[in-house]
């Protein structure tokens, strides 16, 4: 046996050698094809992600402000950042916005998707109606909601007046400005999540559902033990995209409140934008960008941990 093994390479006949060569050739051509197919994505990522990230990190250690001169300042931008009241407010508001908007929009989307997964009349209409906000420009949405929240003639105060409530300055009142934006954020994000959940729900095994029903499981038990576990990977996908989306909220706030009153609705991306392009503090804004990247990474990491815990359960 051992002799045979030792001899094999030296006495390999051309007939035996050919398939090995062919297979290596095949592997090489597959690798080449792989790189070729990856090239556009790599190129895109290189130019639009990796290079800007490297620049942002490098700039965060400088005092660059579009002028003729700049210098390295080490971690000064970071230390100033943590003492900056605007940044602290933006950080807290962004986390609060995400912590409220993500779970609420996921829960509402799932509930609506469950409803749209039933055989009801006008299904096509409802599916379209819930998706419309997603394909509508945020500026248009913000303009409509500005009218809804208008203290004088808006729908929100008009509706509340039916129940005898006094008119509220929704976006000017420090207590209601951020919650008002959260409502719009939740509403705007429903469409995409509903579509994803709907697709996932249609992939849940009907056999398992029927078996559970035959075993006498209630609707809730079927949801908790069959539907919910089947949605695991989709939940994670929705969570990650929601985290990225909510942490990067900008246009909605920019159009509706511009971060005010005071800093009540200031969020990180708006603060970065203002620091970089209005106050011309690009080095400082880059440090803030790095913090935002880390924050998103931490939240995605937490999401992964939660998902793992859910799977292990």
Partner 1 sequence: MRRGARSGVVVLAAVLGLAASSCGNGVIDKSTDGVPPAEATGTLRVLIPSFPPSNKGREEFDKVVEDFKKTYPKMKVEPDFATYGNLNEKISTSIAAGIPYDVMVTGVGWVQTFASKRLFADLGPYGVTPEVIQDKSIGAMVPAATYDGKLYAYPIVADARAVALRVSAFKEAGLDPDRPPKNMTELKAAAEKLTKRDANGTITRSGFDLAAPTSFRQTYTTLLASTGTPLYLDGQPNYSNAKGVETLEWIKSMINNVQVYGQRNAAQQPLVYTGEAAMGITGGAVDCSDKGIGQANCDDLRFFRFDSGKEVQFVGGDLASIGSRARHKDAGWAFIQSLTKPSSVDAIAKLNKKIPAYKDAANSPQAKSNPLSKFVASGLELAIYEGGSANWLEMRGNFDTQLTQAVLGQKDPAKTLANLSGQSR
Interface residues toward partner 1, by CB under 8 A = 27-28, 31-32, 35-36, 39, 42-43, 46-47, 65-69, 85-86, 151, 166-167, 169, 171-172, 174, 258-263, 266, 274, 276-282
For residue 128, the minimal CB distance to partner 1 (Å) is: 32
Do 221 and 212 contact (CB within 8 A), yes or no? Answer: yes
- Report how far residue 187's alpha carbon sits from residue 104's, in angstroms, rounded to the nearest whole number: 10
Three-class SS state of 262: coil
User: Could you give the C-alpha distances from 258 to 88, 111, 236, 247, 270, in angstroms and in order?
Assistant: 17, 32, 31, 16, 8
The whole-angstrom separation of Cα 285 and Cα 37 is 36
Q: In this complex, which beta carbon is closest to partner 1, that of residue 66 or of residue 237?
A: 66
Query: From the CB of 214, what's the least distance to partner 1, in Å?
Result: 55
Q: Give the helix ranges, DSSP H, for 154-230.
A: 155-161, 177-201, 206-214, 219-222, 228-230
Nearer to partner 1, 37 or 123 (CB): 37
Assigned token pair, 147? 């009218």
> Nearest approach, Cβ of 137 to partner 1 (angstroms)?
18
Q: Taking phi first (over 0 means left), then psi (-120 to 50 degrees means alpha), and beta for anything else, what does residue 292 get?
A: alpha
* Cβ distance to partner 1 smaller for residue 243 or 266: 266
Nearer to partner 1, 31 or 111 (CB): 31
Least distance from C-beta 185 to partner 1, angstroms?
21
Nearer to partner 1, 6 or 68 (CB): 68
CA gap 274, 5 in Å, rounded: 71
Closer residue to partner 1, CB minimum distance, 168 or 209? 168
Helix orientation angle between 282-312 and 51-59, rounded to the nearest 10 degrees: 120
**67, exposed or middle or buried, with CB in 10 Å at 0-12, 13-18, 19+?**
exposed
Q: φ and ψ at 269, to 5 degrees?
A: -65, -40
In the complex, minimum distance from the CB of residue 68 to partner 1, in angstroms, rounded to a whole number: 4
Q: Residue 72's beta-bridge partner residues?
A: 62
Q: How far is the CB of 290 from partner 1 (least distance, A)?
A: 18
Considering the complex, what minimum distance in angstroms separates the CB of residue 79 from partner 1?
15
Residue closer to partner 1 by CB (options 104, 146) is 146
> For partner 1, which is the closer residue by CB, 178 or 194?
178
Residue 265 C-beta: closest distance to partner 1, Å: 11
Kindly tell me the burial class for residue 118, based on how many C-beta atoms sit within 10 Å of its own C-beta (0-12, 13-18, 19 or more). exposed
């Amino acid at each position: 046996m051992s002799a045979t093994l030792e001899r094999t390479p030296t006495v390999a006949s051309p007939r035996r050698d050919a398939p090995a060569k062919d297979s290596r050739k095949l592997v090489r051509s597959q690798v080449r094809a792989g790189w070729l197919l990856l090239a556009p994505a790599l190129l895109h990522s290189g130019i639009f992600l990796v290079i800007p990230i490297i620049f942002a990190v490098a700039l965060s250690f400088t005092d660059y402000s579009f002028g003729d001169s700049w210098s390295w300042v080490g971690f000064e931008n970071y230390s100033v950042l943590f003492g900056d009241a605007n940044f602290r407010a933006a950080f807290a508001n962004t986390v609060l916005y995400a912590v409220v908007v993500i779970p609420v929009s996921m829960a509402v989307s799932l509930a609506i998707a469950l409803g749209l997964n039933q055989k009801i009349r006008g299904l096509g209409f409802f599916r379209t109606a819930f998706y419309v906000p997603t394909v509508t420009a945020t500026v248009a949405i913000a303009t409509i909601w500005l009218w809804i929240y208008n203290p004088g003639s808006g729908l929100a105060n008009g509706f509340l007046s039916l129940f005898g409530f006094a008119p509220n300055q929704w976006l000017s009142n420090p207590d209601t400005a951020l919650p008002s934006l959260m409502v719009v954020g939740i509403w705007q994000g429903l469409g995409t999540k509903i579509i994803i959940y709907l697709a996932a729900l249609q992939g849940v095994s009907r056999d398992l559902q029927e078996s559970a029903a035959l075993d006498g499981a209630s609707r809730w038990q079927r949801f908790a033990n069959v539907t919910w576990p089947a949605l695991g990977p989709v939940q994670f996908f929705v969570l990650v995209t929601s985290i990225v989306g909510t942490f990067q909220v900008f246009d909605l706030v920019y159009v509706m409140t511009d971060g005010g009153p005071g800093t009540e609705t200031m969020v990180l991306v708006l603060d970065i934008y203002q620091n970089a392009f209005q106050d011309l503090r690009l080095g400082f804004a880059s440090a803030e960008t790095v913090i935002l990247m880390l924050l998103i990474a931490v939240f995605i990491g937490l999401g992964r941990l939660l998902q793992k815990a859910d799977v292990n359960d």
